[in-house]
Amino acid sequence: MRTRLHVGDDTPHGAEVEAHVETLAAATGLDRSETYRLRLAAEEIVTNVALHGYHSGRGVVDLESGTEDGLVWLRIEDDAPRFDPRSHPGARSRPDPASATRPGGFGLFLAMTCVDDFHYEYHGGRNRCTLRLRPGGRS
């Protein structure tokens, strides 16, 4: 399944991210909590790309998803400058609330925390983040 998002400061993307994840969840049997976590992780990555990758200008973000080896995956690709979200200081440890009011403070941390595996690569001149969930993995 594929969805192309056209992001920008005046172009909300939340509903399209939600629709993609809900369709994926229905097809793969993700439960309510898993669906929410995958949606939240995807929303945070797409928002980060829109705000910081494209600097609130117009840009394209592609969503693609499927299943493999018992895992549900969602891939997010963009054409912004190369950026590995895992390299952000707040990505792996919970940001201090005093600094978390800055954009990106909580978002990347939530994205990393909500999924069972987060992979990044720079592929074909694009940033590619792949989020993976194992259904039932946290129940």
Which residues sit at the interface with other proteins, rule CB under 8 A? 12-15, 18, 32-33, 36-37, 39-40, 43-44, 47, 50-51, 94-95, 97, 100-101, 103, 105-107, 109-110, 113-114
Residue 69 CB, shortest distance to other proteins, in Å, is 26
Least distance between other proteins and beta carbon 42 (Å) = 10
| Distance between CA atoms of residues 100 and 72, nearest Å | 30
Which residue, 22 or 66, has its beta carbon nearer to other proteins? 22
If the CB atoms of residues 13 and 132 are measured against other proteins, the closer one turns out to be: 13
**Least gap, CB of 125 to other proteins (angstroms):** 26
Minimum CB–partner distance for residue 120 and other proteins (Å): 19
Give CA–CA dist 84/136, Å, rounded: 28
